[in-house]
Amino acid sequence: MSVQDLESRIEDISADIERQKAVLRLLECDKSLLQRQLNAVRDPVGRLPPEISSEIFVQCLPLDPRFHELHEAPALLLNVCNAWTDIAVSNPKLWSTMNIHIPGPGGLAAAVQKRLQRASSHLLNVAMVGPLDPTVATLIWGHSSQLGRLVLSAGHREMEDDPDEDERLLSLAPNISDLVLWDVELMEEEQGVDGVGETLLPNLPQLLFSSYNTEVGESHKILQHIRAPRLEKLTLESPTGEADIISFLRRSSPPLQELNIGDASKAGLGSLDEVLALVPTLTRLEVEWVEIGRAKQLFNILAQPGVLPNLRILELNHMEKTSEAFWNAVLGVLSACRSKLRTVRIAYHFRVPMKYIPSDVLTGLRALVESDGMDIWLGSGRRPDQNELFT
């Protein structure tokens, strides 16, 4: 064959290959469509009403926004089939919870914007970890009226130098009903905080204040600039300045129902009596890592007439050491508070055999259970379902 004939034959074969490829693409497309139809018939979710399938998707998501990565669920639901995609995209609640790590991968702002668009007007549950990215922050601030829960975590970063960003952070606060502050500071100490005014959080029922630090730092100073007159639950999981806590409670005068102190030995609450005097509405008091001395101080305060008249639940967790004097103090305070306390939990960090609790104390505690109906639990680990004196 001549060169011209060979070239012509190659062109004919190439054309046949392209035609076969086109036929193959059509067959692949037909197969894909048929497979989707078969999946839709077999898919139990696809046979359910869309509103039920949508709720199943919602219930499969973690409750904590810190576990809602932008590239994971519910975004993964879009990769299953068209039916699942349609259901997921049409449910704003699926997209209303998000965890934003800053700095993040390329396209972070676009991903946040897409998530906010799909969330529509639904109440937002947002966690932001790291320094505030201006573009992402602007997107979130633009939806501040929808923020129901906001988790702000500075992590182990150095603080930003611009106080305007901090003021802007606080400017959205009035619309939040649940605020979690984790190592969040207003600005560097040398700049001062006089320029930041007080922020009113009129609808805030829950405030959790935490830190990675084991010693009292500067992050607690944000409490100097917050007033929450409707606060019902306050959780202090980090070392906190006593003066700032007292000042915050005085300014806010909240109808506080629940106070959780994460580490009594480092919480900076030396004047515990002054703190408790500011929250007479308290019904639940929970304290972690209680030293014997601090526990006795607390017992002496609670035994005084008129202190926390509405207290119903007392929990002391992770008690490291006990003594005979401690158990006598327990019996004394529970006897003094028998008219108000209904539930008492004392959990040890290590298991303490009942033989180390004085027999007369056990007898007295059993009497409180039997005569007053007080629910007393002594032990370690998880609390049993049934009301018991001890595990």
pLDDT tens per residue across span 265-282: 555 556 778 888 899 999
Q: How many domains does the chain have?
A: 2
Shared domain check, 270 and 159: yes
Cβ atoms 391, 384 nearer than 8 A: yes
Positions of E strands within 74-123? 97-101
303 lies in some domain: yes
Residue 220 has pLDDT above 70, yes or no: no
84 lies in some domain: no
Residue 309 has pLDDT above 90, yes or no: yes
Shared domain check, 266 and 216: yes
146 lies in some domain: no
Shared domain check, 305 and 211: no
Q: What b-and-e string marks burial along 241-266, b requiring 16 or more CB atoms within 10 Å of the CB?
A: bbebbbebbebbebebbbbbbbbbbb
- Residue for token pair 């108000």: 340
Tokens of residue 9, six digits: 């034959």
Residues paired with residue 200 on neighbouring β-strands, in sequence order: 227
Cβ atoms 138, 166 nearer than 8 A: no
Tokens of residue 114, six digits: 């897409």
Residue 285 has pLDDT above 90, yes or no: yes
Shared domain check, 292 and 267: no
Shared domain check, 269 and 293: no
Shared domain check, 265 and 196: yes
Q: What is the mean pLDDT of the chain?
A: 78
| DSSP states along 324-336 | HHHHHHHHHHHHH
Residue 95 has pLDDT above 60, yes or no: yes
237 lies in some domain: yes
In angstroms, the first-to-last Cα distance of the chain is 96
Residue 7 has pLDDT above 70, yes or no: yes
Q: Of the residues 239, 274, 309, which one is the last residue of a structural domain?
A: 274
Percentage of the chain with pLDDT > 90? 15
Residues paired with residue 126 on neighbouring β-strands, in sequence order: 98, 150
Shared domain check, 171 and 267: yes
With a CB cutoff of 8 Å and minimum separation 6, the contacts of 215 are 239, 266
Shared domain check, 311 and 329: yes
Residue 215 has pLDDT above 70, yes or no: no
Q: 60 or 257, which is more confident?
A: 257
User: In terms of residue numbers, what domain contains 268?
Assistant: 154-274
Shared domain check, 217 and 168: yes
The listed range with the strongest mean pLDDT (14-23, 97-106, 117-126, 321-330) is 14-23
DSSP letter assigned to residue 175:
G
262 lies in some domain: yes
85 lies in some domain: no
Distance from C-alpha of 198 to C-alpha of 202, rounded to nearest angstrom: 12
Distance from C-alpha of 161 to C-alpha of 101, rounded to nearest angstrom: 20
Cβ atoms 209, 240 nearer than 8 A: yes
Q: Of the residues 252, 274, 296, which one is the last residue of a structural domain?
A: 274
Shared domain check, 192 and 175: yes
244 lies in some domain: yes
Distance from C-alpha of 118 to C-alpha of 91, rounded to nearest angstrom: 8
Q: Of the residues 274, 298, 327, which one is the last residue of a structural domain?
A: 274
Q: Is the dihedral of CA 18, 21, 27, 32 positive or negative?
A: negative
83 lies in some domain: no
The pairing of strands 226-227 and 233-236 is unpaired
Shared domain check, 199 and 299: no
Shared domain check, 239 and 301: no
Low-confidence winner among 19-28, 202-211, 379-388 (lowest mean pLDDT): 379-388
